[in-house]
Structure 1
Amino acid sequence: MDVNMDVKLKFRLYRFSVWCGVAVAVANTLAFSVIGKLTPPVAPTDNAATVAQFMSDHRSGILWAVVLMGLVVPLFYPFAVITSLQMRRIEGGWGLLSMVQLTTGVVAPTGWLYPLAVLATAAYRPDRSPELIRLLSDQFWLTYVGVAVIFVVNVGSIGVAALIDRSPKPVFPRWFGWINIVLAVVFLPGVFVYVVTDGPFAWDGAYALYGPTIAFVVWKIAMIVVLLRAVKSEERETLEQSQAVPVEA
């Protein structure tokens, strides 16, 4: 009886970890599009006065958006961990793919919070020199969009794990593996923001910003659905195994 109660608690925590990913996705949407009004972003070609005016006009929203993300983004950690725990089932223990996913997943919160701290610095003092405000704005967008390339490895490792699973009841469905491979490629163009100031590969462009943004939403929805199913299947297997163990006299 005690074992069953422990198992139920364990999988409640697992499900909570999956839903943490939903909280992060919702907070990210609210922070950038509703509260901070950062979409569409300032353009790389905007002059210092335009960028400074944008920061002044959206100062309160930007600062509160950073506060919201600061409170919610740490929830990405349990989401990253539960993802690796499910990949661990595929590898039969901690292996290369599950560890790669975990280590790159750990970087994700920093990839959000550090650039946002820079953005908050830009908006914090509206009387600062417009040139300095633009400098900080440049650092935010170059870092925020550019580091998305880390997700290429993160999402790719999940895709490979799904595709190599040959068990009778795979942890992740095969179609999910292919989706992750495709989305990993979509995340790649963000790295080119460092060498262009205009066009689809700029930080406000279709390939660097909007493509990865849409890919992230699609990935997050697919991850939630698949992870909940994976946790449910693991719980069922664990309960079946515990019931199959003979009781000692």
Structure 2
Amino acid sequence: MSILASNRGSLDADRPAPVGKPDVWIIYWIFPAFYAIFSVVFVVFARVTPPPRPDVSDAQAVEFFEAHGTTIQIGFTLLLVILGGAALTNGLIFYHMKRMSSGPVFAYGYMAGMAVGAVPGFLLVAVIFLTATFRADRDPQQLGMLYDLGLLSYNGSLGCFTAAYFAMAVAILYDKNEIFPKWFAYVTIWQIVTEVIATQMFVFDSGPFAWNGSISFWWAVVVFSVWLCALIVLLKIATAREPVDSPPLD
């Protein structure tokens, strides 16, 4: 028994010690937690994912806000409380992009694009829908306009995210430190493609190019889900590979 215990102890001693900086690990675990709450807010409470139909009358928009007013208020109030989680998650990506040999300018470009994109991407729809549910006696035309404005902002915020994904893809392709694998750059490029295609939702109120269409929305959801799941895994690998004693980034 003592021999077995000794062998087990030597095996444990031979195993590589966990690497990665503790502060980076803390932010890493916030990443999936934030997106889990984010998904619950938008899917279960606010009911904007999947988005309701764009081809509705003002009266039907009023019915939507009346039917889901309470959950919209709960969900988007919760989102406003945890909004800073977006900054932390994007900061983690920014941190690992600065570790790339491709230079910090792409990291700054990504961070700036995502920071600007957070306003139309989900902050604006939250404020607009909370405004629509704040006074139930608003004119139906006003509520119809808030309905369109909120959902077009949420689903159609394009250029800022396109710039961020472009910066990330180029940084990965030029990086020699292998922070992220090259194939992830091509997944990120597909994010750009879906953002460009989504411009059609400002023209069509029904069909595959509408804001709830199979091409403008559902294809983008599939690509984004693949991208996000891959990113969570790759961030974990990148965090684990960083030496604990590596010097702080400039």
Offset at residue 27 of structure 1 (A):
1.8
Cα RMSD (Å) of the superposition? 2.3
What residue in structure 2 maps to residue 232 of structure 1?
240
- Aligned runs of 1:161-200 on 2, under 5 Å? 161-167=171-177, 170-200=178-208
C-alpha change, 1:215 and 1:66, in structure 2 (3 Å) is same
Letter in 1 for 2:185: G
Name the one with the larger helix percent: 1
Question: d(CA) in 2 for partners of 1:48 and 1:75?
Answer: 35
* Superimposed CA distance per residue, residues 218-243 of structure 1 (whole angstroms, 9 cap, x where no aligned partner): 2221111111111222235728xxxx
C-alpha change, 1:129 and 1:216, in structure 2 (3 Å) is same
Question: d(CA) in 2 for partners of 1:15 and 1:76?
Answer: 16
What residue in structure 1 maps to residue 160 of structure 2?
150
Question: d(CA) in 2 for partners of 1:146 and 1:113?
Answer: 13
User: Is 1:33 the counterpart of 2:43 in the alignment?
Assistant: yes
Percent identical among aligned pairs is 25
* Superimposed CA distance per residue, residues 82-141 of structure 1 (whole angstroms, 9 cap, x where no aligned partner): 21221112136522x111111012124323112210011112222211111111011101
C-alpha change, 1:215 and 1:19, in structure 2 (3 Å) is farther
What residue in structure 2 maps to residue 44 of structure 1?
54
C-alpha change, 1:216 and 1:69, in structure 2 (3 Å) is farther
Question: d(CA) in 2 for partners of 1:226 and 1:238?
Answer: 19
C-alpha change, 1:213 and 1:149, in structure 2 (3 Å) is farther
Letter in 2 for 1:118: I
Q: What's the TM-score once normalised by structure 2's chain length?
A: 0.83
1:42–1:51 Cα contact (<8 Å) kept:
no
Number of equivalent positions: 229
User: Which piece of structure 1 moves more, 33-42 or 126-135?
Assistant: 33-42
Question: d(CA) in 1 for partners of 2:229 and 2:89?
Answer: 13
